[in-house]
Structure 1
């Protein structure tokens, strides 16, 4: 549940420097904070903590300033990254490398280990609002490897970056607004998902846009999806896939050659791979080997056991009994898997 980090008005505005980090100065990092002298002063900052992460909604009727100098960094070397969702007004960042301004709808990442000046500016109605998330930089690096000391600004107009960021903001806002019904593990999962989406966005900005897909590539995606959906059906066949995808069996074979595989190789590789994962991540008391065999599309447990041992070097019972995972199964294709199934008549 969110709590008030600090609230300022005309009566206590001069106390801002002493209260912006919370009652015990536990939030953010050391720096100079002040509020522009204006007829109306109404600043409110609310916080929701999730593990080491804080989600903070800050609203203000006047411009806000925060400066961090090298002296502050020497006194307080807390390395935090701040994720800013600009909801109203502007967010301005400046340091020795220059200045950047983010507008409403933009996203910014800043880091605490280089000197900077931040301004949260009000819009035409005299209001500013940001939702910002403080994350220890060593935790954020699992998602964002880029150094954001000079601020990374993602404008709202940057096409494909917007959907992931919008979803991330909604997830974080929902966690912030939770009234206590969300358990801590669920809150952590939602925050971790949001960070993952942000990391995906940052990586996508650095990658060239993918080339436009050809018709064959789109058809191949349809084929792979159909096989994935129907993998548990023991009657899965080239005729079934071709009919379901609206193509001929001959064209299906052509598409799979683009992927450098055959229908048999693809299906058996996926079935055995999923069975291996299922065996690794399940408890024998919850699901039997026979159920796993049928669940991935084998017609009999005996057939499943023979193929599994041929590819992974241990039968399913032996593999599952090695809970430490010391059997290091090679990938199916690396064990002559293609040669094995190409001569098999078990998949028609």
Structure 2
């Protein structure tokens, strides 16, 4: 059930803004706030916890909320979030872009980058925000810098499915059961990933079209020194795709598979071995991350492109000497490091051969 975590009406008028500032400063990703009329400021924050996903409904007087580099250095849970107006209007600025939002149009925010949100409108405006750890999103949609600070349509298509879902779950008066929360969390993550992938694909197609018009698509004439880093970056960004293979990598860079294998001889490895090694390492990190302890092992495997759970288990045991479930159990008994990241376990290097 949605919880009220801050309500200014419970406080004397002269303390409301300062207490709201304290509230924002004490969150997992601290923020600042300012308003043109501090004496009349009001705010109510309600939060619906859906496992690793949280949905926030904020009602407040017109104000500006922002996050700076200094606040990011102090605390950053690496959250990806979408936000849209429930009443009034928003103006969201991030990554040197600014989006004016009305209705159900939404914007994407990254807690690891400075941002500014202007809440405005007649009466008391309200917004809805859904936040999820970036690590839970499929690898291809984690790099979303090109979407930050842009207005994304939320009144039709996939965007409407997302904004309507978030509006409905925050409005439901009845409490959710434990199984309801688990299912709603999966729905929220899947919807968010689907919407971001849709816009990333559209944007990528537009960029590719512009590059083709300039004659600048994947340059097979580039030498190995220029081509190899681009290919390795491409592989790292597409590990979650179970269809990733030497053939798809070569096609994406407009080179032959034979030439691709020749390039990787310079790295003393093969394309297939690199894909397997990177996937196993990403899965190992997820299994050791206490924030992902409720994510089933088979979902961890699928997130990194392993289509068959049994094949993942065999490869993981070969690489690290223990099955993935046992590794996760051991990780749960090791304290997190001082940086707040996943536990640090001694891990043998992943063999490249075989």
Alignment of 1:183 onto 2:177: yes
1:147 maps to 2:144? yes
Does residue 66 (structure 1) correspond to residue 65 (structure 2)? The answer is yes
Matched-pair contact (CA < 8 Å) for 1:143–1:199: no
In the aligned structure 2, how far is the partner of 1:36 from the partner of 1:71?
Answer: 24
- Cα distance in structure 1, aligned partners of 2:311 and 2:116: 51
1:197-245 deviations in Å (ceiling 9; x for gaps):
23323333344699xxxxxxxxxxxxxxxxxxxxxxxxxxxxxxxxxxx
How far 1:48 moved relative to its partner? 1.2
- C-alpha separation in 2, matches of 1:65 and 1:75: 20
Alignment of 1:211-250 (within 5 A): none
* Structure 1 residues 128 and 163: alpha-carbon distance in aligned structure 2, compared to 1, 3 A threshold: same
Q: Which structure dedicates a bigger proportion of its chain to helix?
A: 2
> By how many angstroms is 1:7 displaced?
1.8
Q: How many residues align?
A: 204
Partner of 1:97: 96
Q: Which structure is larger by alpha-carbon Rg, 1 or 2? A: 1
SS of equivalent residue, structure 2 residue 8: strand
From 197, 200, 216, the counterpart of 1:203: 197
Offset of residue 49 of structure 1: 0.9
2:22 paired residue number: 18
Partner residue, 2:74: 75
| TM-superposition CA deviations, 1:235-274 (whole Å, max 9, x none) | xxxxxxxxxxxxxxxxxxxxxxxxxxxxxxxxxxxxxxxx
RMSD between superposed Cα atoms in Å: 3.2
Paired with 2:48 and 2:94, the residues of 1 have a C-alpha distance of 29
Q: Matches of 1:115 and 1:16 in 2, distance apart? A: 20
- Could you list the structure 1 runs, at least 4 aligned residues long, displaced by more than 6 angstroms after superposition: none
The aligned residue for residue 48 of structure 1 is 48
In the alignment, the residues of structure 1 paired with residue 176 and residue 186 of structure 2 have an alpha-carbon distance, to the nearest angstrom, of 15
Q: Structure 2: how far apart are the matches of 1:109 and 1:3? A: 24
Q: Is the 8 A contact 1:168 1:193 kept in 2?
A: no
2:32 paired residue number = 32
In 1, the alpha carbon distance for the partners of 2:199 and 2:149 equals 14
Structure 1 CA distance, aligned partners of 2:47 and 2:41?
20
Secondary structure in 1 aligned to 2:141? coil
- Write the distance in 1 (CA, Å) between the matches of 2:72 and 2:110: 11
Answer yes or no: is the 8 Å Cα contact 1:6–1:20 preserved in 2: no
For structure 2, the residue ranges without an aligned partner over 5 or more in a row are 206-308, 313-354
TM-score scaled to structure 2, two decimals? 0.50
**Residues 117-168 of structure 1: per-residue CA shift (max 9 Å, x gap):** 22111x2x323111111211111345833424833430346xxxx2323222
1:239: which partner in 2? none
Q: C-alpha separation between the residues in 1 aligned to 2:163 and 2:149?
A: 18
Alignment of 1:152-167 (within 5 A): 152-156=150-154, 162-167=156-161
CA contact (8 A) 2:51 2:185 kept: no
